[in-house]
Structures are given as structure tokens and as C-alpha cells.
């Protein structure tokens, strides 16, 4: 999200300054937080940085559907959320299904919540540093 923000504010702003008033970034997360596999302090830090960049972060918000509407002859695309709120958008980047691939879940590697267990040096225990 930060890279997209930087691209918009550095490059798009330079190339298409008239569009900037129409651009808003919103991060929608169905769960209670972001970066769930990282320490909570890092997640909280990143949420603070997103807020400083005026990125709208909506936690505990699930997408219920996408609608197309016409207002004064103009097509508007709307994301509808389960809490009843809505966001108009022109471009949506969707990332969903953060589950490990079958290669990992079918492996003999030690797993914790479908994630490979590693030590502080990102080595898999009992593999003598080979994995």
C-alpha cells in the first residue's frame, strides 16, 4: 500500500495533477488487524504510518459486493461492505486468500497455523541450516 501511495503522490501527481483530487486510497481488511504474521508492534506502527499518509484503513470490514450505478449518466462502481457502508471506486486492487500454498501444507516441514516454523535467523529447525 505504501508503494502505491508513493507512486500516486510522486509520479501520478507529476504527470496528471488534475486527477489528484479524485484519488483516495482505502485498505479494507476483514480481520481485526493487518500483517497478522508479524509482531503486533510492527502492525501498529504500519497502521500509524498509513494514517499519516491519509490512507483510509478499514479493519473488521468485509466486502459484501460490488455494484454499478449511474448518476447523472455517469457510471459509478461501488464497493459494498457487510457493515452497510460503501466506497465509490474507479480502480480496485484485490488481494485475498492469504493461505499457504499446497506445497507448504503438504510438506514435512514443521508448521504453525499453516506457516513454516523458523528460528531467529529464518532457518527451519532441525535442518542444519539447509532450509
CA–CA dist 66, 86 (Å, integer)? 9
Burial (Cβ within 10 Å: 0-12, 13-18, ≥19) of residue 86: middle
Asked whether residue 46 carries a pLDDT value surpassing 80, the answer given is yes
Locus of grid cell 506457516: 115
Average pLDDT, whole number, for the chain?
A: 88
pLDDT digits (tens, 9 = 90+) for 71-111: 888 888 999 999 999 999 888 887 766 666 677 778 888 98
Is 90 exceeded by the pLDDT of residue 10?
Answer: yes
Task: Classify 103 as helix, strand or coil.
Answer: helix
pTM of the complete model = 0.68
Q: Collapsing DSSP states into helix, strand and coil, what is residue 37?
A: coil
Looking at residue 123, what DSSP letter applies? P
24 to 19, 20, 109: CA distances (angstroms) = 11, 8, 42
Are 32 and 60 a contacting pair, CB within 8 Å? yes
Amino acid at each position: 500500500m505504501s508503494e502505491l501511495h508513493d507512486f500516486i503522490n510522486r509520479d501520478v501527481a507529476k504527470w496528471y495533477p488534475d486527477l489528484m483530487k479524485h484519488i483516495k486510497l482505502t485498505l479494507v481488511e476483514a480481520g481485526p488487524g493487518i500483517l497478522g504474521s508479524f509482531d503486533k508492534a510492527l502492525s501498529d506502527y504500519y497502521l500509524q504510518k498509513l494514517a499519516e499518509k491519509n490512507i483510509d484503513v478499514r479493519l473488521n470490514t468485509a466486502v459484501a459486493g460490488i455494484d454499478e450505478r449511474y448518476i447523472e449518466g455517469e457510471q459509478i462502481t461501488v464497493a459494498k461492505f457487510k457493515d452497510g457502508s460503501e466506497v465509490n471506486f474507479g480502480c480496485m486492487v484485490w488481494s485475498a486468500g492469504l493461505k499457504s500454498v499446497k506445497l507448504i501444507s503438504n510438506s514435512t516441514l514443521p508448521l504453525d497455523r499453516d506457516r513454516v516454523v523458523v528460528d531467529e535467523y529464518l532457518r527451519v529447525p532441525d535442518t542444519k541450516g539447509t532450509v
